[in-house]
Amino acid sequence: MHYKNLTLLILLNFIIFSISYAQDFISIKSKSNLRAGPGQQYPINWTLKLPNMPVKVLEKNSTYTKVELYDGTKGWIWNATISEKKFYMVIKDTYIFDKKNQKIALVKKNVLFDQLKCNEIISSEVYCKVAIDGIKGYLYKKNIWGISQFTQ
């Protein structure tokens, strides 16, 4: 009987832990320092100045979160400067396409947006349905940073 309770408790802890990391991307609220370690005693490697920039969560403690930027840069940011709001970033100049795979508009690298629905197949490529500055269409999924593995 105790084994069943213990197994259930372990399973419940695993599910809660998995859910807490289900949102593996967050965004920067405002200017944020990217530090070499989790504390003010560590040097600042970069200053992030792009509000709403998505970053990937690698590790988290009570005051700092270790993140990865779209270019692979890693560091620690203060939790007060992050938001759980989802934003996405175009990582290279690309086009928004319509359902017929026709180009609608050019989108430049580092453009941010917050509306996304992925896993649309057009011409054997995976696209995400987006709305950027009033323009609705599709972007190649591989050209977008900030998409969680759980995003549909």
DSSP the chain: -HHHHHHHHHHHHHHHHHHHTT--EEEE-S-EEEESSSSTTSPEEEEE--TT-EEEEEEE-SSEEEEE-TTS-EEEEEGGGEE----EEE-S-EEEE-TTS-EEEEE-TT-EE--EEEEEEETTEEEEEEEETTEEEEEEGGGEE---TT--
Is residue 85 scored above 80 in pLDDT?
Answer: yes
Provide mean pLDDT across the span 76-82: 96
Residue 111 has pLDDT above 90, yes or no: yes
Quickly state the pLDDT bin for 12 (edges 50, 70, 90): very low
- pLDDT value at residue 7: 52
Q: Tell me the mean pLDDT in the region 49-75.
A: 96
Does 40 have pLDDT greater than 80? yes
pLDDT of residue 122: 74
> Which pLDDT value is given to residue 81?
96
**Do residues 33 and 74 lie in contact, with contact meaning Cβ atoms separated by under 8 Å?**
no
To the nearest whole percent, how much of the chain has pLDDT over 70?
82
Going from the N-terminus, what domains does the chain have, and what CATH number goes with each? 24-83 (2.30.30.40), 89-145 (2.30.30.40)
Average pLDDT, the chain: 85
pLDDT of 53 > 90? The answer is yes
Between CA 31 and CA 79 the distance in angstroms is: 12
pLDDT at residue number 18? 40
